[in-house]
Amino acid sequence: MLDRFIPNATPCGRTRREFLWEVGGGFTGLGLIDLLSRDRFFANDTRANEAAGGEAGMHPLAPKAPHFGGAKHCVFLFMNGAPSQVDTFDPKPMLDKFHGTAYAGKAKVGSNGRPIGYLMKSPFPFRPHGESGLPISSLFPHTAKHADDICVIRSMHADTAAHASGCLQMNTGSVLIGKPSLGAWLSYGLGTENANLPSFVVMTDPRGGPIGSASNWTGGFMPAAYQGTLFRSQGSPLLDLATPAGVSDRTQRKSLDLLGELNREHLARRRLGLRPDQSSLSLKEGRVGNPTYGDSELVARILSYELAYQMQTTAADVVNLSQETRQTQEMYGLDDARTADFGRKCLIARRLIERGVRFIQLYSGGGHIEDTWDGHNNCISNHTIHAGETDQPIGALMTDLKQRGLWDETLLVWGGEFGRTPTSEGVNKPGRDHDWHGFSMWLAGAGTRGGQAIGATDDLGFAAVDEPCHVSDLHATILHLMGLDHERLTFFYKGLEERITGTRGNVVTKAIA
């Protein structure tokens, strides 16, 4: 009641003069936050930047204790292009009943203006597998042998129907470019168990990478040391990795030591604010300007020279599959042109796990439409091809991890950026459109409760209706299985405690043993 007696009162009960004064004071606080950040006032910011090569001298990828017990490694089997849930892990008897009839429901279907045809049953019969009776389609006879180890989440949903933003969201938690990827978060949170290989390795399809390319394995606003390293599955894993002809190991070692010393001095000068005309003597005498942060790209480059030197032997050894027995190579399908490429990637993934690599992402499908799982034209032939390329290698990887005692410490994730509609695209056309309202993914390995399906889509398979699981929930669950609390795994950036799940995310507790 008193507000009505305040002259020139605003709806918030303050005078215009008070309002402008408080807004002005708050605006200047933005500059204060930046200055305090530069002076390392915020504890989390200090810790993150020390890990990037700050005064604590800590290597950014040094092993770090998890929040609680969890897996040591994660392999993300990314089916680029979006596999159909109703043709893989989500059987829908109602589609058999109403096959060929026009869809008259209220579900939002279709994308990009594509025509909506008729309800289309799956041409791939489902049958129960294992003691659990988990239903899996005929597309995956090898993977189905591990049905009791697989936890299918049938109620996945995302926020976009576009491949580029869908891949970004599945990889980084955001539909926008610039956020750290899941592999970067795991490298930041756990470090690595090896000194001779990257913590985060990516292998794409020979037909091309995902839409969005390196933004899918970026370190985002984190120090560049956490970003993914792209490996080739044949020949040298990295271009220009071999020592130049005529250069001895001793000469190369001395050159790298000198380069490292110069780069570290340059980094120190940047952090202490030295002008170009100030000599290194200024460091001792304290004649420095305003302190500034070191460039994370420079820190990453300093570390990359040393890592590249170590990798000249180690990385080449990882992709040398001639060391594997003939039986192992045949198990992964290396003797079959159809499965050879993905088989090599899966076998290299196992060898990377043995050497302590933290996160490995393998892509099936590259480019667009039929070269990926994007079955717009003919979902039947499309999925037959891509499942045929990947099923045997994935089954072999699961078998191999068990035989070598790596199963309990390795988490496997299978899925794409979203799913596909239960309807065809037009009359008598066996293609399926994008469906981001309900699709399937699965988890297996360390800490996962297998032999079950969690959640459900509606009777026709359009949208998640029971225990819906958003992409952020999947990320929270993956982090939990890796021993990390998604609410505690944060990175201070521009005044905010950033996390991969943003303001969302709930662990799918049913997925955890």
pLDDT, tens digit, 9 for 90 and up, residues 57-72: 457 888 999 999 999 9
Tokens for 95, please give them.
């589609």
Q: Which contacts of 501-506 are long-range, i.e. CB under 8 A and separated by 24 or more positions?
A: 501/173, 501/472, 501/475, 501/476, 502/173, 502/174, 502/472, 504/470, 504/472, 504/473, 505/470, 505/472, 505/473, 505/475, 505/476, 506/473, 506/476
Residue 260 has pLDDT above 90, yes or no: no
In the predicted model, is pLDDT for residue 361 greater than 60? Answer: yes
C-alpha 171: how far from its chain's center?
A: 4
Domains, the chain, in order of start with CATH, read: 2-38 (no CATH), 73-99+140-235+319-511 (3.40.720), 242-314 (no CATH)
Percentage, residues of the chain above pLDDT 90: 63
- The confidence score (pLDDT) of residue 110 equals 58
Give the separation between CA 155 and CA 438, rounded to whole angstroms.
Answer: 6
- Whether the per-residue pLDDT at 270 is higher than 80: the answer is no
Q: With cut-offs at 50, 70 and 90, classify the pLDDT of residue 151.
A: very high
Percent residues over pLDDT 70 in the chain: 74
pLDDT at 429: 83
For range 203-223, the mean pLDDT: 94
Per-residue confidence band for 315, with pLDDT thresholds at 50, 70 and 90 = confident
pLDDT interval class at 288 (50, 70, 90): very low
For 82: left if phi > 0, alpha if psi spans -120 to 50, otherwise beta; the answer is left
Who wins on pLDDT, 103 or 454?
454
* pLDDT over 50 (residue 483): yes
Q: Write down the pLDDT at residue 60.
A: 83
What distance in Å separates the CA atoms of residue 137 and residue 90, rounded to the nearest whole number? 8
Query: Does residue 42 carry a pLDDT above 80?
Result: no
pLDDT band at 88 (very low <50, low <70, confident <90, very high): very high
170 has pLDDT over 90? yes
| Pair type for strands 359-364 and 200-203 | parallel
Query: In sequence order, what are the residues at sequence separation of 6 or more whose Cβ sits closer than 8 angstroms to the Cβ of residue 412?
Result: 74, 75, 77, 397, 398, 443, 444, 445
**Under 8 Å between Cβ of 164 and 153:** no
Residue 327 pLDDT more than 90?
yes
- Residue 150 β-bridge partners: 444
State yes or no: pLDDT of 426 exceeds 90: no
Least Cα distance to 199 among 213, 214, 181 occurs for 181
Average pLDDT of the segment spanning 339-361: 97
Q: Minimum mean pLDDT among 282-286, 334-338, 493-497: which range?
A: 282-286
pLDDT of residue 245: 64
Lowest mean pLDDT among 37-46, 70-79, 410-419: 37-46
Strand partners, 129: 134
CA–CA gap between residue 74 and residue 186 (Å, rounded): 9
Burial of 54 (0-12, 13-18, 19+ CB in 10 A): buried
Q: How many CA within 13 A on the CB side of residue 449? A: 11
Q: Is 76 helix (H, G, I), strand (E, B) or coil?
A: strand
340-354 and 379-403 helices cross at what angle (nearest 10)? 30
* Alpha-carbon dihedral 162, 165, 170, 172, rounded to 10 degrees: 180
Predicted pLDDT of residue 282 = 35
Say whether pTM exceeds 0.85: no
What 3-state class would DSSP assign to 7?
coil
Confidence class for position 296, pLDDT limits 50, 70, 90:
low
Which amino acid belongs to residue 107? A
Of 86-95, 207-216, 229-238, 487-496, which range is least confident?
229-238
Average confidence score pLDDT of the chain: 84
Strand partners, 498: 491
Say which residue, 186 or 258, is predicted with more confidence. 186
Lowest mean pLDDT among 160-174, 332-346, 427-441: 427-441
pLDDT at 302: 65
What is the 8-class DSSP label of residue 64? -
Inform me whether the pLDDT recorded for 34 exceeds 50.
yes
The mean pLDDT value for 181-193 works out to 96
Q: What is the mean pLDDT of residues 104-110?
A: 67
